Every structure is written in C-alpha cells, then in structure tokens.
Amino acid sequence: MADVQLFKLIELGTLSLVNKIIIAPMCQYSATDAGEVTYWHEQQWANYALSGSGLCIVEATAVQDIGRISYADLGLWNDTQRDKIKVLLTQVKSISPMPFAVQLAHAGRKASSEKPWLVKGGRGQIPPNTEHGWQTVSASEVAFNATDVAPHALTIAEIQQIIQDFAKSAVRAVEAGFDLIEIHAAHGYLLHQFLSPLSNHRTDEYGGSFENRIRLTLDVFQAIQNAVPQGFPIGVRISATDWMDAEQSWNIESSVELSKALEQLKAVYIHVSSGGLHHQQDIQIGANYQVPFAQAIKQNVNIPVIAVGLITTPEQAESILQNQQADAIGLARAILYDPRWAWHAATRLGAKVAIAPQYLRSQPHGLKDLFQPFEPF
C-alpha cells in the first residue's frame, strides 16, 4: 500500500513516536495489595516493549490508595511504588527504545471493586469495612448503581488534596522513567464523575455549570504541568459521551469544548473513548463505534487525537488515518490477543516495522523488507 499512514512518525509534544500504533491502558488487576508491580508486569511490559508499537500507556495507576479501581491496581502514591517501577522500566528500556507512558487515575465511586474475572458481570463493589474494601468518594453522594454503597461527597479540602496527589504522583512518574503522562478523565472514574451532570450535583465551584464541572480536570492538568519538567508531555483520555440522554449528560459537544480548553493548556493529545459513567448507558457498540467522536474532536483542535475502541484490523486503522478521522490509533484488547499486531499490520499494509535484532531472522519466507532493527538507543 502506497503512503501507509500507520507507520509514519508522529509527535506528541516533545515525544516522537516511530509509528501511530499506541497500546492503550489496560488494567491487569495483578499488583500487590500495596499497589506495587509484580512478575506479571515484568513479562507484560517486556512483551509490549517488543511489540513494534510506537508507544505503550501503562494501566490506570492510582494517585491515592482509595483511588484504585481494585485492591490489585498499581499505584504511584508513594516512593516505594515509584522505586519498583523504576527498576522494571530500566530493565524494559534495556531491550527496546519504545517509550512508555503512565495513565494517572482516581476511580472515585467506582473504586473498591473486585477483580473482574471473579465477579459475574465483570464488576462488583466490595463494601467498606470488609477485606479489600473501603469507602469510596465522588463529586456527590450518588452511587454508580443501586447495589453500591453511596460515595462520600468530597469536600473542597479533599478535592485540593486529590489535585496535589495527582501532581505528586506525576513527579514520581517522571522520576520512575516514564516518557509521558496521561490523565484519566474517562470511563466513569473520578474526573469523569465531576464532568457529568448525572454524577455531579454540587452547587459550589466544582459543580453546576459546564465551566465548574470541567474545573477539576483542568486543575489537575495544571497542577501536573507545574510539577513536572517544563515541556514534559501530558495527554488526556476522555469519554466523549455518557451514552445517555444527551441533554442531561456529558455529550460530544461538551467533549469538544473540554478538548479546546485542554489544548489551550498545552495538552499534547486527546485520547477519545466513551461511556462508563452510568449503569444504564445505551452504547451502540460495533467496529469503529467511537471513531466519529474522535473525528468530531479532531475537527475542532490542532493537537493529535487518538481513536480507540473495536479497531482490530490493520485496514481499519489505516482507513481511519487516511480519512483524517484521527491522528493515531489506540489498541487494547487487540494487542492482548495478538502481541505482534504491529508486525502483522506491517505485513498486510506493505510497511516496515522496527524490531529487536534478535528477532530479525523470524521474518517469514518470501518477505524481504518487513523488518528493520531498532535504531540504536
């Protein structure tokens, strides 16, 4: 295929990627109870590093212990977590030049959950005062569903502490060796809970008007920006819609305006997902189902937009880029299913992919120009 877009360079602020394939964050629910990396992360991150992708964004990593989705989530709320991640990142970066990012997150009312494969339906809250459970927090005392314990409505002082903890975790992320920070403002977690009027019933400066509801996300962005080295790249993942009644919920128009505000603050990209806020969401799921949201945002900002969601084939990904619906492609489950997705994409699209030199001789018979070795690093 002539002029393949998927394997062209892309700049995310000061960070240059060798292609537009981005491994999207995926919770592994495999950390210790102390929020520290385990052998699972060693093999997983090494696998990502050798995948031929342009960037890996590590799973949602909590900025507070009560901000974990589950008791088995990673954290960066203390220095021990940072130090163990630093050791692992140093090892991974010794075998591949692929940059690694981290997604900093707070789960809010969707915290204190069980590992999804242990629960029918994939999600179950663990009540406070039981093993692995704790009191959750949110914008308002509105539970995610009827079976959950209602969250504690954060005070202004507690909100300010969360903002500070995002900034402190960002500093640790830089110290650990991550190359980019993504702020998680999607999927019904805390920042999204403040964005949506369905979950935010506040009457102070963090609730009510659109400007007030986006305030926490912007405050977190600016706090991180002020804490990390100047020019360090920061991106944001958002849910473009709640998939609920558009007039009474977070919708694509809101997301466009938020993206414009984040661009003004020098965000280096917008990562466009959707949903996760309300248990009655009516998601119209199918191939490329979130791509129109990415396209709508791309038409209104001048920073890269990442499309994600049931993009599974190389031809799909290339078509999205060729049609200028997005600037890069986020892959999650497709990479879990096929860790060499980038290799196979290069084969089908007639492109080259950079890989570890130890694997060069694995090039299939009859293909002469599929692989090239990693650039020196």
The residues pairing with 68 across neighbouring beta strands, listed in sequence order, are none
For residues 217 and 190, give the distance between their C-alpha atoms in angstroms, rounded to a whole number: 9
Strand stretches in the chain, DSSP E: 10-12, 15-17, 21-23, 55-62, 100-105, 137-138, 152-153, 180-185, 234-239, 270-273, 305-308, 328-331, 353-355, 371-373
Q: What is the largest CA-CA distance in the chain?
A: 66
Structure tokens at 311: 């993009």
For residues 221 and 236, is the Cβ–Cβ distance under 8 A? Answer: yes
For residues 361 and 341, is the Cβ–Cβ distance under 8 A? Answer: no
CA proximity to 182, closest of 232, 133, 244: 232
For residues 234 and 267, is the Cβ–Cβ distance under 8 A? Answer: yes
Query: Which positions ≥6 away from 53 have C-beta within 8 Å?
Result: 19, 21, 22, 23, 98, 331, 335, 341, 342
Give yes or no: 269 in active site.
Answer: no
Q: Which of 48, 189, 206, 269 is catalytic?
A: 189
Number of Cβ within a 10 Å radius of residue 253: 13
Tokens 């920006």 -> residue: 225
Structure tokens at 108: 């809010």
Task: Estimate the crossing angle of helix 314-322 against helix 341-349, to 10 degrees.
Answer: 70
Phi, psi of 368 (to 5 degrees): -110, -25
Active site residues per annotation: 189
